[in-house]
Amino acid sequence: MHWGQIKTLFIVCFLVLNVFLVKQLLDRQQEEIIFIPETSREEELEFNIKGLSNLSEENFTAPLIYTQNLNYNKEAEAGLDELSKQQIVVIDDYYLFSRFDEPVAFDFEDQESDLGEYVLNGDRYSYWGELESARMLVFFQQIEYPIFYNQNAILLIQLNADGNMTQYIQTSLTTAGEPAEERSLIKQYDAVYRLYHHSNALETGDTITNVSLGYHNFVSLPNGEQLLNPTWDIQVNDNAHHFINAIEGHNYPQKNYFFQETISELVKLLEQSESDQREFYHLEDKPEELLSTIRQALVGVYHNIVEVDLE
Amino acid sequence: MKGENLKTILLVLLVFSSLLLTMAIWNHQPNFEMTRDEEDLVDPQIEAGQKLARLDVLKPLYIIQHDNSVEKPIGLSDKSSEQELFNSIVDYSLYNFSTFNLDEEWWNGIDDWVEIVFSTELPSETIYDLFSIDQGVSIPSGMYNRIVIILDHEGEYQLLFQNDPESKVIGASVQNYGRVAEQLDGYFEQGKTITYEVYESSRGTDIYLPNEINPNVLLFSYTDIPIDPFQNFLFSTPSIVRSARTTDGNTIFIDGTRELTLESDRISFTNQTNEQKVSDYELTYYELFDQVQNFINTHNGFTFEQPFSYFLSHLEITPQTNKVEFTLSYNGVAIFSDQAISQISVAWHNQEVYQYNHPLITLVEQRGIAREAASLPDAETVIEILNSESYHKSAIYDVILGYRVREQVGGQGQVYELIPTWYVKGINGWNPLIIPSETTGGDNSALGTD
């Protein structure tokens, strides 16, 4: 055989070999995509849950936030002095109870009206909802995003039958230490995916009506320090809220008795605090009278919530 | 000629490209995204800890030989010979597994048998681990806490896996049965033996209490286990963890969802978000045991030095929780403690850890004998106590003579005491025997009730 023919034979052989190798390489790259995510489980989610098309495709980032309770007496004394037409008592430095001298009309619907006029840093709280049949409005404190269901970052405003503000209770968190670095968060779709597949919270036919970012904390240190984790609030059928940790993706158990427990603890604080634990601002009534009025109104709210729960 | 040159160039190109493609395939790395930061990739293993195989933690509480021609059952007096005997028993070749109801009449006809008693009910899959049985062999599903080897029986099944609350047993045939029976008899004939008192448990089964007891309180030096590895594997991002001291001197670590409490000689961890069992798939007892064992092995969580070891002492599945507990033993004798410094316990929900308790000390070297236990009743007195008013309404599933471990009181510190103590297994697990007031005072006083 001539050398020329041998070369031709080799060329054909190597061509075939190269085609095979290219195919192998392409197959391997394909494999990576096949495993993530599991297609059938995605399909199952899309088949059973509505509203997925409204979810944002964006990649979000948010930092973890280290916080401490705001000490009203040490850090906000001047701010409290400026608030007018109300009597304030701060218990244990962190819990602020205030009673308006006269009911205050306030338009919560109006974007222009400034809650900060009546409540210390009132503009840093976002409306969450109303406690059914108790005429109490719930606001969550915001540090960039709202802090969900946190007894130390809440504003509860009580209204009278005319819808005017009569009294409120407030707690606040302040950031502690240097701001932490931004962390990339799981996508909204992945949060819903995890909620559907890793908990029994969603049922076939449910609609995801809104997904928003906030912060959540489950355990605090004895000195009050908290570590707030970025959390997706997944709203289902316009009412139920489910919370998914936006970094790790695990779901938080529901806090079904949060308001009941919070108000019961606030009532206990009012009843059991000693005089050296209380600090008054703009006091006009007798201290015991003021405490008793606030307490009675709160007890009324508590009973209304319990009744609604029993129903 | 020009065509030939072109062919040569083409051939060289093809050879090179095939080489390049081959290299590309060899070096191909899947491009998975790393979700953790570099700083969080820390070694999560306990340096002084070790891994234990399933077989290593499947250890009995005691082994008894019955011979109806002798008045009382006997056992080997030396616990290490008992362990040796158990190791030889698990070398038997078993076959022909079947499940059936134990016929009382048939059972009464048996005169001579060896009984191996475990601390907790074990799933039948553990028989594969214990006796190194091929996975192809079918073993009926069920639970057992006793293995009975019949020594004078010509029937089909010579070895039974029994569970106290059930009359159904799993039977198996033993290969070379004649030699095995002889060998077992030999162990008890040649070895130093002690007699046992028999007491009927609340489930109608027999409990055995040794007649010879060693009242010596042993002293041991110990080493501390550092907290860092626990922090590194229990928190998903250790770098964000914050800590603070509590008023009672403990330290709490949190990351917003998980909580690790450090006490002087132990840790307890809770992942608050994993409290509820929500997973649709319910684990089997064996899967639970296997997953928890793997979890502990992953970080070398079995912290002990020979002749101490850990054995599986509790396995529980309820609608609320799944729990697995491993208990420390010294030469095969179980060690209990009021402060959970001799138990590793795991609550396992949704195939992940929910709660984890682990001692932070390792007992190391024996520092002699301190004294004799102040009030250690003999077996007959224990039976009297169990029959008395104080245990009138309590369930009694088993009784053993174990050790109670505690830091030496009034000593110079740095040592832990192993105090021989009777323990009773009831509804709430193992608790120290409550000795009525006329005999109290000493090591057993001030103990909690069952």
Asked if B197 contacts B383 with a C-beta cutoff of 8 angstroms, the reply is yes
Confidence of residue B447 (pLDDT cuts 50, 70, 90): very low
Start-to-end CA span in chain A (Å): 98
Report yes or no: A31 at the B interface, CB cutoff 8 Å.
Answer: yes
CB proximity under 8 Å: A 261-290 to B: none
Chain A contact present for B245, CB below 8 A: yes
Among the partner-chain residues A4, A18, A219, the one whose CB lies closest to the CB of B7 is: A4
Are B277 and B320 spatial neighbours (Cβ–Cβ below 8 Å)?
A: yes
> Considering only CB atoms, which chain B residues are within 8 Å of A253?
272-273, 275-276
Same-domain check for residues B171 and B130? yes
Mean predicted confidence (pLDDT) in B249-256:
89
d(CA A15, CA B350): 53
Among the partner-chain residues A199, A222, A227, the one whose CB lies closest to the CB of B278 is A199
A2 has a chain B CB within 8 A of its CB: no
Cβ contact B25–A226 (<8 Å): no
Predicted local distance difference test score (pLDDT) of residue A39: 59
* Domain of residue B173, residue span: 54-210
Report if residue B417 sits inside a domain.
yes
Summarize pLDDT for A257-303 with one digit per residue, the tens: 899 999 999 999 999 988 899 999 998 888 899 999 999 999 999 99
Q: How far apart are the first and last CA of chain B?
A: 102
The pLDDT assigned to B443 comes to: 52
B315/B377 same-domain check: yes
Nearest CA in chain B to A11: B11
Q: With an 8 Å Cβ cutoff, is A15 touching chain B? A: yes
Q: Which residues pair with B171 in a beta bridge?
A: B98, B160
Domain presence at residue B433: yes
- Tell whether B256 is within 8 A of chain A (Cβ): yes
Residues of A in contact with B273 (CB under 8 A): 218, 245, 250-253
Domains annotated on chain A, with CATH:
49-64+180-245 (2.40.128.690), 65-176+257-310 (3.30.310.160)
Mean pLDDT by runs of 10 across the 311 residues of chain A is 83 92 83 56 83 87 92 91 91 94 87 86 91 88 93 94 92 87 89 84 87 90 90 90 89 85 93 90 89 92 80 59
Chain A contact present for B243, CB below 8 A:
yes
Same domain assignment for residues B254 and B308:
yes
Domains of chain B: total: 2
| A243 to chain B: closest CA residue | B273
Is residue B14 one of the residues assigned to a domain? no
Q: Is B273 in CB contact (< 8 Å) with chain A?
A: yes
Distance, in angstroms, between A15 CA and closest chain B CA? 7
Write out chain B residues lying below 8 Å of A198, CB-based: 278-279, 350
Are B270 and B400 in a shared domain?
yes
Bridge partners of residue B342, in order along the sequence: none
**B26 is a domain residue:** no
Distance from CA of B275 to the nearest CA of A (A): 8
Q: Chain A contacts of B349, Cβ < 8 Å?
A: none
Residue B148 in domain: yes
Tell the residue number behind the tokens 């980032």, with chain if given.
Answer: A61
The per-residue pLDDT for range B150-179, each reduced to its tens digit, is 887 777 788 889 888 788 889 888 888 888
- Asked if the model's pLDDT at residue B203 lies above 90, the reply is no
Residues B178 and B241 in one domain: no
Kindly state whether residue B27 falls inside one of the protein's structural domains: no
Q: Do the Cβ atoms of B146 and B102 come closer than 8 Å?
A: no
Contacting residues for B267 by C-beta, under 8 A, at least 6 apart: B227, B230, B260, B261, B356, B357, B358, B360
Domain termination residue (choose one: B152, B179, B210): B210
Q: Give the Å distances, CA to CA, from B73 to B63, B69, B195, B259.
A: 10, 10, 6, 49
Say which of A14, A28, A64 has its CB closest to residue B18.
A14
Residues 302-361 of B with CB under 8 A from A: 350
Of all residues in chain B, the one with the smallest CA distance to A222 is B246
- Cβ contact A28–B256 (<8 Å): no
Cβ count near B351 (within 10 Å): 14
The Cα of A264 is separated from the nearest Cα of chain B by a number of Å equal to 23
Of A21, A64, A66, the CB nearest to B25: A21
**Option in B10, B21, B257 nearest A21 (CB):** B21
In tens, the pLDDT along B120-135 reads 999 999 999 888 888 8
Same domain, B201 and B326: no
Given pLDDT bands bounded at 50, 70 and 90, which one contains residue B38? very low
CATH of the domain at B425: 3.30.310.160
Q: Please tell me which of the candidates A14, A221, A223 has its beta carbon nearest to residue B15.
A: A14
A10 shares contact with chain B (CB less than 8 Å): yes
Of A21, A221, A248, the CB nearest to B244: A221
A198 touches chain B (CB under 8 A): yes
> Which chain A residues touch B258 with a CB distance below 8 Å?
219
Residue in A closest to B245 by C-alpha: A222
Task: Tell me which amino acid residue A177 is.
Answer: G
Which of B21, B237, B256 shows the shortest C-beta gap to A18?
B21
A176 vs B: CB within 8 A: no
CA-to-CA distance for B86 and A25, rounded, in angstroms? Answer: 54
Residues B419, B288 within the same domain: yes
CB contacts of B242 in chain A (<8 Å) are 66, 221, 225, 227
Single out the residue of A234, A150, A253, A138 nearest to residue A192, CA to CA.
Answer: A234
Q: Domain boundary residue among B194, B210, B226?
A: B210
DSSP state for residue B302 in the 8-state scheme: B
CB contact under 8 A, A219 and B258: yes
Domain closes at, from B210, B225, B253: B210
Percent of chain B with pLDDT over 90: 19
Between CA B231 and CA B223 the distance in angstroms is: 19
Instruction: Categorize the per-residue pLDDT at B147 as very low, low, confident or very high, splitting at 50, 70 and 90.
Output: very high
Q: Do B312 and B429 belong together in one domain?
A: yes
Interface test with B, best of A12, A14, A44, A256 (most B CBs within 10 A): A14
Q: Are B196 and B288 in a shared domain?
A: no
Residues of chain B contacting A29 with CB distance shorter than 8 Å: 28
* B178 and B235 share one domain: no
Asked if B154 and B102 sit in the same domain, the reply is yes
C-beta separation of A163 from A145 below 8 A: no
pLDDT per position as a tens digit, B274-317: 888 776 678 899 999 999 999 999 888 899 988 899 999 999 98
Is position B48 within any domain?
no
φ/ψ (deg, to 5) at A173:
-110, 150
Q: Which of chain A's residues have a Cβ under 8 Å away from the Cβ of B247?
A: 222
Interface of B with A in 113-152 (CB under 8 A): none
Q: Which of B210, B200, B252, B211 is nearest to B231 (CA)?
A: B252
pLDDT digits (tens, 9 = 90+) for B398-439: 899 899 988 887 766 678 888 899 999 988 888 888 888 755
Question: In terms of domains, do B237 and B175 share one?
Answer: no
Is position B365 within any domain?
Answer: yes
